[in-house]
Amino acid sequence: MRRIDVPACLAVLAFVLAGPCFAQMPLPTASATDRAEARAIFKELIEINTTDTPQGSVTAGSAAMQKRFLDAGFPAKDVNLLGPDVRKMNLVVRLRAAAPGTKKPVLFLCHMDVVQALRSDWHTDPFEFVEKDGYYYGRGTQDMKDSDAALVATFLRLHREGYRPKRDLILALTADEEGGKFNGADWLVRQHRDLVDAAWVINPDAGGVELDHGRAVVADVEATEKVYSDFQVTAVNPGGHSSRPRPDNAIYELTAALNKLAAYTFPFELNEVTRTYFKNLAGQETGQTAADLRAILATPPDMAAAARLGSEPSFNSNFRTTCVATMLKAGHAPNALAQTAQANVNCRIFPGHSPEEIRQRLIGIFGDAKLSVKYVSDSYVVSDTAPQRKAMVPPPPISEVFEPLTRITQAIWPGVPVTPVMENGASDSFYFAQAGIPCYGYSAIALERDDDRAHGQDERLPIDSYWKSLDFFYAYSKAVSGE
Ligand SMILES: [Zn+2]
């Protein structure tokens, strides 16, 4: 299958239903013992504070999981605790193939850190694992200790059952995705490529099953994401007394430039992922929106339809690079001409373009050689030029990844369409994609559309969603590493 579009989904489903029919057979569900262990791991992880604060330690979480793997009999050489900082150690676990094979491993990438949560903001203690009304409560129950725990439990179960995969399976539990100076995904792929090299990455930090009043509506798989970049735009001026204004003025020069940006629209673009996404969406929408979605997929795309859809910010940001002024500062006294006027321009860059290319574009839009346009890195270092590296243009969804993902998802949630999507945000997939390893964001976690509590108060996960993700990862791990 070249990519998951509607006909392809139907074809897969038809094949599955006609064949010896995995989909009709319920997936093997975890036993009571397996579930008890998976629950205990989840509880242990929630109750270890892994925030980037003086109270938090990712190492504590990694070390607790390391102990579980070693106690279970994993060889020490396949359970690596490593990192650049004593409180930010990552854990990389390898379930080794029965015999060295030709297929590269599959890696599951899971960040272990969580966003800070204050007891005073919550109804329960965020660092206590609380079971209530069919939910597990606690910081990280959605983002993403649910998946950390489900994958630890899956690896332990596969090992306990004596499963011998035909390719290595790797689990990387990493630091500082949410913030902090020691991003584990970045560090591992740069410093220990051999430990984390893979045919592809499944990152459960994105994607999942959307529920509407309990009904599974769609399973999103994040197949690409935009690149985040900040630019510092500065106008300078000798200044002087405000009673004697000069013809040149830092504030006016900067605001004139920003007004040009406000009037500018980056070119309309599609890639394999967004094309498929819009095509699937057109089948669910009605009226003008459905017609416009089909019209932008035509060759050439209908720009009037793109303009109509573009008035909706979420569509607009899904088919072009966007840059917007987000901060402004200028002047130093009410009665003085500003010597400096400065803006931050935040860009979300469509895959296939580099930050430097966008910096040059901004310079062109502003058309004022007196302005400087500098790049601001994630760690707030300002530089004259921006990185040349481009976010990878997504390949067509790989059948080896999507066929089992679709088949198993539809065995758990019958009939749910599986669609690749482009996220406007950014995750740790970025670092692996930069290194040329395809990444797919999928958690197999089913959540109500209006119950996203990641980073928020009273974060919770339906217990049933946890069990289903456990069944998914067990079946998927076997499917990609079996016959
Ligand atoms: Zn996350």
Ligand 1 centroid to residue 444 C-alpha, Å: 14
CA 139 to ligand 1 centroid distance, Å: 11
Are 201 and 432 spatial neighbours (Cβ–Cβ below 8 Å)? yes
**Distance from the alpha carbon of residue 140 to the mean position of ligand 1, in angstroms:** 8
Cα 115 to ligand 1 centroid, rounded to whole Å: 9
297: CA distance to ligand 1 center in Å?
32
- Find the 335 Cα to ligand 1 centroid distance in Å: 47
How far CA 251 is from CA of 189, 232, 258, 335, in Å, comes to: 43, 14, 11, 14
Examine the pLDDT at 387 and tell me if it is beyond 80. Answer: yes
Q: State the distance from the centre of ligand 1 to the C-alpha of 447, rounded, in angstroms.
A: 15
Q: How many CB atoms lie within 10 A of CB 38?
A: 24
Phi, psi angles (nearest 5°) of residue 131: -105, 125
101 C-alpha to ligand 1 centroid (Å): 33
Residue 378 has pLDDT above 90, yes or no: no
- Measured CA to CA in angstroms, residue 155 lies from 36, 353, 410 at distances of 15, 38, 23
Interval 247-263 mean pLDDT: 98
CA of 138 to the centre of ligand 1 (A): 14
State in Å: Cα 180 to ligand 1 middle: 13
What is the rounded average pLDDT of the residues 251-278? 95
Residue 148 gets the label, from left (phi > 0), alpha (psi -120 to 50) or beta, of alpha
Q: Is 46 left (phi over 0), alpha (psi -120 to 50) or beta?
A: alpha
Query: In angstroms, how far is CA 403 from the centroid of its own chain?
Result: 21
The amino acid occupying position 449 is R
Distance 176 CA to ligand 1 centre (A): 10
- Give me the pLDDT at residue 477, please: 98
Q: How far is the CA of 392 from the centre of ligand 1 (A)?
A: 21
Q: How far is the CA of 111 from the centre of ligand 1 (A)?
A: 7
Location of structure tokens 């499917």:
479
Ligand 1 mean position, distance from CA 279 (Å) = 28
Instruction: Give strand ranges (E) for 193-267.
Output: 200-203, 208-212, 215-225, 227-236, 240-241
Distance 460 CA to ligand 1 centre (A): 14
DSSP per residue over 130-195, as a string?
EEETTEEESTTTTTTHHHHHHHHHHHHHHHHTT---SS-EEEEEES-SSSSS--HHHHHHHH-HHH
The confidence score (pLDDT) of residue 424 equals 77
The pairing of strands 215-225 and 418-423 is parallel
∠ CA(254), CA(255), CA(258), 5° rounding?
A: 90
Q: How remote is the CA of residue 46 from the centroid of ligand 1, in Å?
A: 14
Smallest CA-to-CA distance from 451 within 133, 174, 228, 180 is with 133
Mean pLDDT score of the chain: 91
Query: Measured between alpha carbons, how far is residue 74 from residues 38, 80, 93, 425 in Å?
Result: 17, 11, 9, 36
> 223 or 137, which is more confident?
137
All residues at 6 or more sequence positions from 244 whose CB lies less than 8 Å from its CB, including other chains? none
Q: Who's near 426: CB < 8 A, 6+ residues apart? A: 225, 226, 227, 228
Expressed in angstroms and rounded, the spacing between residue 160 Cα and the centre of ligand 1 is 29
pLDDT at position 284: 76
- Rounded Cα gap, residues 190 and 450, in angstroms: 38
pLDDT in tens, 305-327: 999 999 998 899 999 999 999 99
Q: Ligand 1 centre from 178 Cα, in Å?
A: 7
Chain segment 323-350, per-residue pLDDT in tens: 999 999 999 999 999 999 999 999 999 9
State the distance from the centre of ligand 1 to the C-alpha of 144, rounded, in angstroms.
6
Instruction: Yes or no: say if 329 and 235 are a contact pair by the CB < 8 Å rule.
Output: no
Name every residue whose Cβ is closer than 8 Å to that of residue 317 and which is 6 or more positions away in sequence: 226, 348, 424
Ligand 1 center from residue 396 Cα (angstroms): 25
- Report the alpha-carbon distance of residue 376 to residue 381 in Å, rounded: 6
Tell me: pLDDT of 463 over 90.
yes
Distance CA 51, CA 60 (A): 11
Residue 80 CA to ligand 1 centre (angstroms): 22
Asked if 37 contacts 149 with a C-beta cutoff of 8 angstroms, the reply is no
pLDDT over 80 at 430, yes or no = yes
Ligand 1 centroid to residue 52 C-alpha, Å? 14
Q: Are strands 90-95 and 169-174 parallel, antiparallel or unpaired?
A: antiparallel
CA distance 16 to 274: 26
Centroid of ligand 1 to alpha carbon of 206 (angstroms): 7
Residue 35 Cα to ligand 1 middle (Å): 23
The pLDDT tens digits for 159-196 are: 999 999 999 999 999 999 998 899 999 999 999 999 99
H or E, element range at 328: strand 322-330
Q: What are phi and psi of 308, to 5 degrees?
A: -65, -50
pLDDT confidence bin for 395, thresholds 50/70/90? low
Kindly tell me if the per-residue pLDDT of 22 is higher than 60.
no
Confidence of residue 277 (pLDDT cuts 50, 70, 90): confident
Distance 175 CA to ligand 1 centre (A): 11
Q: What are phi and psi of 276, to 5 degrees?
A: -65, -40
User: What gap in Å lies between CA 50 and CA 58, rounded to an integer?
Assistant: 5
The DSSP H or E segment spanning 382 is: strand 382-383
Query: What's the gap in Å between 181 CA and the centre of ligand 1?
Result: 16
